[in-house]
Amino acid sequence: MVAWLRCGGGIMGSVEEKFRRLPPELQREVMDFIDFLLRKVKKKPGKKLRLDWAGGLKEYRDKFTSLELQKKALEWWD
């Protein structure tokens, strides 16, 4: 059985006790690591870019410049 389950204080009590025993410089490292983990969790994986649509705007090439097509494609994507 995990030690924090046996102690009755739960995981937070165990973490706090261990944290308090660390010198201040290591406490700062722990806080930095926690911030790193939180940033890592918040990152959402982006959608993988698909290129199977290449050439899909051929019908518009005589109506728009490439820059206008790019802007239109972004509008249509939303």
Q: 0.85 exceeded by the pTM?
A: no
Residue 4 confidence (pLDDT) above 80:
no
Q: 50: exposed, middle or buried (C-beta count within 10 Å: 0-12, 13-18, 19+)?
A: exposed
pLDDT tens, residue by residue, 27-40: 999 999 999 999 98
pLDDT for the residue 51: 77
Residues 6+ apart with CB under 8 A from 57: 69, 73
pLDDT tens, residue by residue, 6-59: 555 688 889 999 999 999 999 999 999 999 999 988 877 777 777 787 777 788
Residue 5 confidence (pLDDT) above 70:
no
- Do 14 and 4 touch, CB atoms closer than 8 A? yes
